[in-house]
Amino acid sequence: MMDTRSRLVKYGHFMFRWRSYTPLLLLPLAFVVGDAAQFPADQPELTLAFKALCIAIALSGELVRMLTVGTTPPGTSGRNTKDQVADALNTGGIYSVVRNPLYLGNGLIFLGLTMWLQNWLLILFYLMAFAMAYALIILAEEDFLLKKHGKPYEDFTSRVPAFFPRFSLWQSGDRRLSFRRVLRREHDSWLSMLLYLAFMDYILNVHLLPGGGFDQRWWWAIGGLTALNFVLKVIARFTPLLKV
């Protein structure tokens, strides 16, 4: 019989494989959670300030991701979904203050994007779902890393927090930030963020707020970033410019 921890680790590996798609579950839910909270019509600056806050939170998450992928060696901190990969144990740089910076980045990104709808019930649901899903993912990942790296990883977990950074622990890493690595690995994230935000704005202004409409400038932004995404993919596939 499988014990409770082994069962949770199994669930964690399942969630790890599908972690890139789980935020999409919020999209249909956003249609049915109820009306958006509206700031007073005579104070549009509050709405603008709140949207700026949403974008700032999401961008802070992406900055965490960029710092992580731009300073870690190949074979670590990847987008792999089928199997866990950790050719080396990252303990310097951003990993010296938090063990799971990519998951922290993901959490901030989708928190900011979810807040766009101004619905606190949806935000609460997101926080609960994220906490449960990533608790399982982290459990499975740490089970894998402990088996692979043993005592060094055990010492690392006893010193560095799993999710909430402790900045007093900061230690410089061995690798400098590689913008080529960031461009190669994060351009899909940038497009995904924009598409998600545009869809949230569509839900907000077409389905939740009376008299609203979809801002056509979203199409220009999506078209421009899609073109950039395609160019970066071609460069990464056929030239050495983004090789790391």
137: in domain: yes
Question: What pLDDT does residue 90 have?
Answer: 82
Question: What pLDDT does residue 35 have?
Answer: 64
Model confidence at 1, pLDDT cuts 50, 70, 90, reads very low
Tokens of 116: 């766009």
Domain that holds residue 71: 4-175
Sequence-ordered strand ranges (E) for the chain: none
CA distance 83 to 75: 12
Counted domains in the chain? 1
**Residue 149: its H or E element:** helix 120-149
Q: CATH no. for residue 49? A: 1.20.120.1630
Tokens of 109: 């990104």
State the SS3 of 24-43: HHHHHHHCCCCCCCCCCCCC
CB-based contact 153:95 (threshold 8 Å): no
The segment with the largest mean pLDDT, out of 200-204, 225-229, 234-238, is: 225-229
140: in domain: yes
Model confidence at 197, pLDDT cuts 50, 70, 90, reads very high
CA-atom Rg of the chain in angstroms: 20
211: in domain: no
13: in domain: yes
Of all residues in the chain, the percent with pLDDT exceeding 70 is 89
Model confidence at 244, pLDDT cuts 50, 70, 90, reads low
229: in domain: no
CA distance 50 to 193: 18
Tokens of 159: 């010193």
pTM higher than the cut 0.85: yes
* Per-residue CA distances from 21 to 18, 24, 88 (Å): 6, 6, 27
CA distance 152 to 86: 13
Q: What is residue 52's three-state secondary structure? A: helix
CA distance 142 to 126: 23
- 173 CB neighbour count, 10 Å cutoff: 17
Q: What pairs with residue 171 in β-bridges?
A: 93
Tokens of 79: 């987008």
132: in domain: yes
184: in domain: no
- 68 class by beta-carbon count within 10 Å (0-12 exposed, 13-18 middle, 19+ buried): buried
Question: What pLDDT does residue 171 have?
Answer: 87
CB-based contact 217:197 (threshold 8 Å): no
Model confidence at 85, pLDDT cuts 50, 70, 90, reads low
Question: What pLDDT does residue 121 have?
Answer: 85
199: in domain: no
Of all residues in the chain, the percent with pLDDT exceeding 90 is 34
Tokens of 48: 């603008």
